[in-house]
Amino acid sequence: MAVDACPEETSSCLERIKKTNKKRKREENKKPSFSWECSTELMMYDDPWKLKKVLNSSDVGGMSRLLLPKEMAEPLVAAVLGYDENQKEGMEVEIWDVDTQSMHSLVFKRWGSSRSYVFMANWTKDFVKRRSLKSGHEVAFHWNPYANRFHFSVLKSATEEDFSN
């Protein structure tokens, strides 16, 4: 005979039904009502700005190019773009300035003389002059796979001491 079924309504039978129902409710409350998996481990914030550079005088000078070290450019830019270093003219890249909410276009290419890579073409006009960038400013880029473009931001302004050098 099932615990829930009582042939007669006795107080002991009703008590068993109440206990059984309470036990079922406790068991149901232990089980999550959804199937999401989650972790209770603490995770540190992952900084999206992987490609960071403190600008130097050649980055803001008259050459109209931002020089990126090979160690930084190959995994964070060339790999994402599928860049072939045999592309002599470089590759046009869309850049979204998150600070000013404006779209710009630069050319990414390998800089033959230094074995490094550069963002060039409109670098001086669209970034250095428009944003008043100086030696000592820290800028950053990251790839946004959802928008299929790079994002740009000025992370730190140059200090007064940097201008005196």
Kindly report, residue by residue over 83-135, the tens digit of the pLDDT.
887 777 889 999 999 999 999 999 999 887 777 889 999 999 999 999 999 99
Q: How far is it, in rounded angstroms, from Cα 1 to Cα 155?
A: 73
Could you tell me which residues come within 8 angstroms of residue 42 by beta carbon, excluding any fewer than 6 positions away? Answer: none
Instruction: Quote the number of domains for the chain.
Output: 2
Shared-domain flag, residues 127 and 100: yes
- Comparing 66 with 32, the larger pLDDT belongs to 66
| Residue 143 resides in a domain | yes
What type of residue sits at position 60?
Answer: V
pTM over 0.75: no
Residues 84 and 19 in one domain: no
Q: Are residues 127 and 152 in the same domain?
A: yes
Cβ atoms 106, 119 nearer than 8 A:
yes
Residue 46 falls inside a structural domain: no
CA–CA separation, 60 and 62 (whole Å): 7
What's the confidence (pLDDT) of residue 156?
87
C-alpha to C-alpha distance for 76 and 74, rounded to whole angstroms: 6
Tell whether 62 and 141 lie within a shared domain. Answer: yes
Alpha carbon 133 to chain centroid distance? 23
28 and 99 together in one domain: no
Whether residues 22 and 55 share a domain: the answer is no
